[in-house]
Chain A
Amino acid sequence: MKKRTVRTIPQTRTPVQELDPTIRARNFEEVNCGYSESEALRESERCLFCPDPKCIEGCPVSINIPQFIQKIGEKNFRGAYDTITATNLLPAVCGRVCPQENQCEGVCTVGENLEPVAIGRLERFVGDLAIKNHWVNKPYIHPSLFKIGIIGSGPSGMACAADMAKAGCDVTVFEAFHQPGGVLRYGIPDFRLPNTVVDAEVEKLKDLGVKFECNTLAGRLFTIEQMIEELGFHAVFIGTGAGYPSMLNIPGDSLNGVLSANELLTRCNLMKAREFPKVDTPLPLGRHVVVVGAGNTAMDALRVSKRLGAETVTCVYRRSKTECPARAEEVHHAEQEGIEFHWLTNPIEVLDDGNGNVRAIRCIRMDLGEPDDSGRRRPVPIQGSEFELETDEVVYAIGTNANPIIGQTSKLTLNKRGYIETDSNLMTSIAGVFAGGDIVTGAATVIEAMGAGRKAARGMKAYLGIRDIGPIPTDGSLFGIALSEHNFTRVRIAE
């Protein structure tokens, strides 16, 4: 193959088909239509196959990105899928929801001069093709007789489950909701991640032998300690997430019409409230919806409200657009769909209509001052700039905290904010019990949670004495034992 240079490759990023904003703002169809084969082939020509690929370092699970792109170029799509799934279980999910601009695409060499290679779109192309053709990478699994319990069926739990199943363990995933998927199911709306994709990924895990037990509230139905001592689990992974929503703690917080983004999204996505009264869960529609916050969850809440038929949907955020934590693409999509943005605006009070319902929200304009601890310029209120925004529904999307249930029901060591303390192998204060994802780090991304699930699986395998083929990324020692591979031989339990 002739060596590619920045000059010889296609200069512009292959655009992806999107539904027309005016039409899609009224339905829940997926916005991004994904690449066709010819589009994917063209985009694959833009990769330079750098000898020192930065993109792999930028990926939390270190996908061999140049290799899978090369295989796309060779029309060896199955090979591309095999390359991705060597490290990433859910390409169809991650290709859609990863913040690639801060990860692989953010460090892409092509991006230094031109637009970076559309790695996320290529990954999704491969993931969707796999679902369509029922490709499953089912490795030879030698049963190891270890029984593993996973708490939470979100991204970290699914990733950990997959790795442990591949190591031959008998894996059961416990989910408190009636359907598996965690945030992929209740949180991310259909127009960004269709439920059919989540179903397909869950099916893949079932093909690996993973069992899902829904309607099971671990911690309360049985404790972590009981799982180890009575239910016969040799190791447990906790991936319960950070789902406890923050409230603003301003006057009017408890008025009817004020709700968390989690509640809005759960009612809409998991409970299908948009079909009310065909389904029983209601979701009263605001005509003028205000969403507070500007992260990805806020963008989801804004765009869901628009699709539910709200006349005006407004985002209120105390910092400026530059500081907003949402992915650029999400903000762009929201703007296209007619969402109004009030940057540098902070809510100070939700106002009552006299009957306990929301009438308006009082806000104050902000200005950017000196940088704060996060390195972003601190917003400071402009005296006398208060104004009212008329609204009948206020959605708080200002972050979440640790789910308290496991902490309440076990003796695990938590930090002062309620997150689970772990060592560098993600093992908690109880031997054999691991934790990862948002319940350890605080709210983060899907791919980071998946990375944590995989890291915990590596620690778990080492703990159980299952030899791992891949490198074990630690500080050099594991449970106080020096990390030479000879120390880990496979331990079998007598049959």
Chain B
Amino acid sequence: MNSIAPGRSGPQPFEILRREDYSDVTYMLEVHHPMMARAAKPGQFVIVMSHANGERIPLTIADFNREKGTITLVIQAVGKSTMEMQQTLTAGSMLHGLAGPMGIPTHLSDARKVICVGGGLGVAPVYPQARAMKQKGAYVIGVLGFRNKDLVFWEDKFRAICDELLICTDDGSAGIKGMVTDGIKQAIEKHKDIEEVIAIGPPVMMKASANATRVAKIKTMVSLNPIMVDGTGMCGGCRVKVGEKVKFACVDGPDFDGHEVDFDDLMVRLRRYKEEERVATERWSETCRMSEPGLGELSKINEMAFPNRN
């Protein structure tokens, strides 16, 4: 508990201890933060700033290790910030900012049989929830969706904690051919006593999952990741419509009843900065092309991005 070291002030570096690449676009960072590892609970997220001029981006805590004092983030390179992080962050580099754990932890229900659904990047954040349900003694069915077999990750991690595991791929190159909703339907047909579904992934997937369980009236919890700035309930950028009410995902969520969430509204709001994202990404790839970074260049970028490293 002594990680609040005396004398530190201003922006504090958070060291990356390990990095692993799961595919061309998906990578994992294990970040040193003993206090957060101790506080984190399934369902929570962090705000990361990779450098002083960076954005504050929300990322779900995919795993935490209290003994090692680390938290794990699984990131998909989809925009400028995440692509830049993919290129510049390695073991030993520091994040400029890392705040959290944010959001209300997942309320672990007493359900005896659950389906934990992860789609694409949502596979990572659903893992701690599946593990926690398993530890509570529930029968856990994992349903993981990927585009194809090259993008599959954490299969063995899930096998270790799931009583049943269904992998779904769009092209059938691994597991069953189809979407996670096909996996959910299969599981519901086989087990008539499923009490809860936890679904995390892209909004369109969570919407489909919620629809798939609506008729059977199975409680379905989803974890939302809208656009945020502060993550502490201050900007209202992450507001979502749940039932008739407006909720802030950062402090009122991120978990909500999937049958109540207005996903169409969420998807429209996620498009808000599409144009700016395009400008930033283009501008960034332009600079990258101009310098065609070899290893030397990379460390130079690193230096520019992390002036506080030393």
CB pair B232 A176 closer than 8 Å = yes
What residues of B have a CB within 8 angstroms of the CB of A247 in the complex? Answer: 236, 239, 246
Report the bound CA distance from A262 to B7 in whole Å.
31
CB pair B56 A230 closer than 8 Å = no
Report the bound CA distance from A279 to B229 in whole Å.
14
Report the bound CA distance from A206 to B9 in whole Å.
9
Report the bound CA distance from A247 to B236 in whole Å.
9
**Shortest CB–CB separation between residue A207 and chain B, in angstroms?**
12
CB pair B241 A254 closer than 8 Å = yes
CB pair A256 B272 closer than 8 Å = yes
- The residue that A403 contacts in the complex, of B6, B12, B234, with Cβ under 8 A, is B234
- The residue that A221 contacts in the complex, of B12, B39, B49, B265, with Cβ under 8 A, is B39
Sorting the interface of chain B by its residue count into under 10, 10 to 19, 20 to 34 or 35 or more gives 35 or more
Q: Whose C-beta in chain A lies nearest to the C-beta of B279?
A: A277
Highest count of chain A CB atoms <10 Å: which of B14, B44, B235: B235
CB pair A279 B53 closer than 8 Å = yes
- The residue that B11 contacts in the complex, of A178, A211, A271, with Cβ under 8 A, is A178
Stretch at the interface among A108-116, A212-220, A371-379: A212-220
Q: Whose C-beta in chain B lies nearest to the C-beta of A172?
A: B4
Report the bound CA distance from A284 to B251 in whole Å.
25
CB pair A243 B229 closer than 8 Å = no
Instruction: Count chain A residues whose beta carbon lies closer than 8 angstroms to a beta carbon of B.
Output: 49
**Shortest CB–CB separation between residue A280 and chain B, in angstroms?**
4
What residues of B have a CB within 8 angstroms of the CB of A178 in the complex? Answer: 11, 49, 56, 96-97, 99
Q: Whose C-beta in chain A lies nearest to the C-beta of B265?
A: A254
Q: Whose C-beta in chain B lies nearest to the C-beta of A212?
A: B9
**Shortest CB–CB separation between residue A242 and chain B, in angstroms?**
10
A209-243 residues at the B interface, CB under 8 angstroms: 211-217, 220-222, 230-231, 243
CB pair A217 B280 closer than 8 Å = no
**A62 interfacial by beta-carbon distance below 8 Å:** no
A435-476 residues at the B interface, CB under 8 angstroms: none
Q: Whose C-beta in chain A lies nearest to the C-beta of B248?
A: A244
CB pair A220 B102 closer than 8 Å = yes
**A11 interfacial by beta-carbon distance below 8 Å:** no
**A267 interfacial by beta-carbon distance below 8 Å:** yes
Q: Whose C-beta in chain A lies nearest to the C-beta of B2?
A: A231
CB pair B229 A215 closer than 8 Å = no
**B69 interfacial by beta-carbon distance below 8 Å:** no
CB pair A284 B237 closer than 8 Å = no
CB pair B269 A254 closer than 8 Å = yes
Using known A-B contacts A263-B237, A356-B268, A405-B232, determine if residue A215 contacts B273 with beta carbons closer than 8 Å.
no
A380-405 residues at the B interface, CB under 8 angstroms: 403-405
Report the bound CA distance from A211 to B53 in whole Å.
24
Report the bound CA distance from A284 to B277 in whole Å.
11
CB pair B237 A259 closer than 8 Å = yes
CB pair A221 B271 closer than 8 Å = no
**Shortest CB–CB separation between residue B255 and chain A, in angstroms?**
13
**A276 interfacial by beta-carbon distance below 8 Å:** yes
As a 0/1 sequence over residues 259 to 295 of chain A, the CB contacts with chain B under 8 angstroms (1 = contact) are 1101100110001100011111110100000000000
Using known A-B contacts A215-B98, A220-B101, A220-B102, determine if residue A281 contacts B55 with beta carbons closer than 8 Å.
yes
Report the bound CA distance from A259 to B8 in whole Å.
35
28 residue pairs A–B, Cβ–Cβ below 8 Å: A176-B232, A178-B97, A178-B99, A206-B9, A211-B7, A214-B10, A215-B11, A217-B102, A217-B232, A231-B4, A243-B233, A254-B241, A254-B246, A254-B269, A260-B236, A267-B235, A271-B55, A271-B229, A280-B54, A281-B229, A282-B273, A282-B276, A284-B275, A284-B276, A403-B232, A404-B252, A405-B232, A405-B251
Q: Which residues of A contact B (CB under 8 A)?
A: 172, 176-179, 186, 206, 211-217, 220-222, 230-231, 243-245, 247, 249, 253-256, 259-260, 262-263, 266-267, 271-272, 276-282, 284, 356, 403-405, 408
What are the 3 closest A-B residue pairs judged by CB atoms, nearest first?
Answer: A282-B276, A356-B268, A263-B235
Q: Which residues of B contact A (CB under 8 A)?
A: 1, 4, 6-12, 14, 35-36, 39, 44, 49, 53-56, 80-81, 96-102, 104, 229-237, 239, 241, 246, 248, 251-252, 265, 268-269, 271-273, 275-277, 279-280, 283
Q: A179-B10, A213-B12, A221-B39 are in contact. List 17 more A-B contacts (CB 8 A).
A: A178-B97, A213-B9, A214-B9, A214-B10, A215-B11, A220-B44, A243-B233, A243-B234, A254-B241, A255-B268, A259-B237, A260-B237, A263-B235, A276-B280, A279-B53, A403-B234, A405-B232
